[in-house]
Amino acid sequence: MDFFLFLILSLCLSYNGVDAGREISMNQQHRILSKNNFNTVFATDDDDFDCVDIYKQPAFQHPLLKNHKIQMHPNLSIESTASSIRKTFRLQHHDEGCPPGKVPIQRIKSKNVIDAEFMLPRHADVFHQFTKEFPGQHFATMYTRAPYSFMPYHGARATVDIHNPSVEMNQFSMAQIWVQNGHSSDLNSLQVGWGVHPRIYGDNLTRFTTYWTADNYQKTGCYNMMCPGFVQVHPTKRLGQSFKGISIIGGEQWVIDILISQDKSTGNWWLTIYGDEKIGYWPKEIFTHLGDGANYLEYGGWTYNSPSGISPPMGSGKFPSNNYTVACWFAQIRYVNEVYREDDVHRLNMVKYNTDANCYDLKYLFYAGKIFGHTFSFGGPGGNCIT
Ligand SMILES: *[C@@H]1O[C@H](CO)[C@@H](O)[C@H](O)[C@H]1NC(C)=O
Ligand SMILES: *[C@@H]1O[C@H](CO)[C@@H](O)[C@H](O)[C@H]1NC(C)=O
Ligand SMILES: *[C@@H]1O[C@H](CO)[C@@H](O)[C@H](O)[C@H]1NC(C)=O
């Protein structure tokens, strides 16, 4: 509580120059945030995709999906006041997509650009934080403390500020949400966010990036749709797509609102952006432990460099700041509880995880009202980190 008040006070000082009290400072913060024109669209000139028959997409080559009946519409009984508010920030747009009956699948760039090895399981870049033996990874995140009375979780959500940290060929820098269950060699993990990852994309753009595994990164799983698993249903928005706008330090902010949530009737894990754009889902069948929900959620930044190298910037490259135009941030940090209801995370049940304070950090900011919910700021310049 003291920490919280301290933050409120420092906000008052930084924004008002006076101690205006808790209520006013929140309104003040609210006003500052609302004033900004949030843009939320993907790039439309990025045409690196193929339109594939919806019933012939890669997912159906998965041995466990031979008899899978495609689910065209989820039945997500999610109650959210936030999503309707969020719509007021949406920029209406029309982008190029696929004709009826077809879905867009991101093209994998030519093999000489992509290091195929980087897509293989067991390679460094896909190791989880708990496989500590692998150096070169850094995390600045918040995760759910266990045991938590609202388990199992049936989803996680956040609005994530989009940046473009500069990375070298053998590095990556991401901001994402993890939804997991199982442990050690049985770990099931779903990850969604943005990533700059030249090894898999062949460029330095910030791209909508997902990952899944059902056996702790060993034999199953991959990025996006690079292996059978994810079922795409949206005709335009797709995994691997680049963003039209990138937040500018001291300027305009661009965000993506991500919701990963389980459909109660099918058990499939749906990916929804901006509250109503249903991209597709990871079928229940491909997992061993996520079928009945998740027991672990995590939100934040993740970087990787080849061991003994220099670590890339995380987020905007700046350490956490109360000034939302400086460091990268997460807002509306939410989860879907045991009765499939969306709710704000319980701040006291979240644990901060920062692997190297010299390079990165994460700072919980405050509850910024209904529109922005719980917020944290994270990131850092990277450099010569210890681990
Ligand atoms: C959708 O979910 C609701 C609430 O769980 C349920 O009553 C309804 O039957 C479901 N509809 C379908 C089509 O599965
Ligand atoms: C990404 O940026 C780095 C640093 O500027 C550069 O060395 C590298 O060639 C770029 N990679 C690609 C694939 O464009
Ligand atoms: C936030 O940071 C930007 C960029 O440094 C600066 O221009 C702006 O004045 C700062 N805003 C506040 C309220 O301190």
User: Does the domain formed by 26-379 have CATH 2.60.120.200?
Assistant: yes
- Position with higher pLDDT, 249 vs 11: 249
Per-residue pLDDT at 90 exceeds 60: no
Ligand whose nearest atom lies closest to the CA of 339: 1
Per-residue pLDDT at 82 exceeds 60: no
In angstroms, what is the span from residue 75 Cα to ligand 1's centroid?
6
Atom 4 (ligand 1): residue with closest C-alpha?
77
pLDDT bracket for residue 134 (50, 70, 90): low
Mutate to test the pocket of ligand 2, among 200, 203, 204 (most ligand atoms within 8 A of CB): 204
pLDDT bracket for residue 48 (50, 70, 90): confident
Per-residue pLDDT at 327 exceeds 60: yes
In angstroms, what is the span from residue 311 Cα to ligand 2's centroid?
15
pLDDT bracket for residue 79 (50, 70, 90): low
pLDDT bracket for residue 249 (50, 70, 90): very high
Atom 1 (ligand 1): residue with closest C-alpha?
75
Report residue 105 as tokens: 């699948």
In angstroms, what is the span from residue 21 Cα to ligand 3's centroid?
22
Average pLDDT, integer, range 94-109: 79
Ligand 3 contact via 250 beta carbon (within 6 Å): yes
Ligand 1 contact via 265 beta carbon (within 6 Å): yes
